[in-house]
Amino acid sequence: MNQLPTKYPYLPTWCPGCGNFGIMNAIKMAILKSGIPREKFVVVYDIGCAGNMADFLDLYGFHGLHGRALPPAAGIKLANHDLKVIVVIGDGGCYGEGATHFINLMRGNHDITVLVHDNHRYSLTTGQMSPTTDQGTKTKSTPEGALEVPMKPLALAVSNHATFIAREFSGNIPQLSMRIGQAIAHEGFSLIDTLQICSVYNPTQDLKWYKEHTVGLEMIGHDPSDKAAAWARAMEEDKLPVGLFYQEKRPAYHQLVSELQSATLLNHDKSVVKMDELLNEYR
What confidence tens digit (pLDDT) does each residue in 252-270 have?
A: 999 999 888 888 888 877 6
Domain presence at residue 268: no
pTM > 0.85: yes or no: yes
**pLDDT bucket at 2, cuts 50 / 70 / 90:** low
User: Which tens digit of pLDDT belongs to each residue from 80-105?
Assistant: 999 999 999 999 999 999 999 999 99
The pLDDT of 103-116, averaged and rounded, is: 97
Domain assignment present for residue 11? The answer is: no
Whether 101 is covered by a domain: the verdict is: yes
In-domain check, residue 230:
yes
Question: Is 200 within a domain?
Answer: yes
Q: Domain holding 48: CATH number? A: 3.40.50.970
pLDDT for position 5: 54
pLDDT of 272 over the 80 cut: no
Total domains present in the chain: 1
Q: State the pLDDT at residue 13.
A: 85
17-63 pLDDT tens trace: 999 999 999 999 999 999 999 999 999 999 999 999 999 898 999 99
Predicted local distance difference test score (pLDDT) of residue 267: 82
pLDDT of residue 168: 98
| 27 falls within a domain | yes
What is the rounded CA–CA span in Å between residue 52 and residue 231? Answer: 32
pLDDT band, very low/low/confident/very high, at 281 (cuts 50, 70, 90): confident
- Give the domain extent around 46: 20-253
User: Is 262 domain-assigned?
Assistant: no
266 within a domain of the structure (yes/no): no
pLDDT > 80? residue 7? no
The yes-or-no verdict on residue 203 having pLDDT over 60 is yes
Residue 87 · residue 113 · CB < 8 Å: yes
Crossing angle of helices 173-185 and 20-34, rounded to 10°: 50
The share of the chain scoring above pLDDT 90, in percent, equals: 84
Q: Does position 1 have pLDDT exceeding 60, yes or no?
A: no
pLDDT of residue 8: 55
Which residue has better confidence, 136 or 277?
136
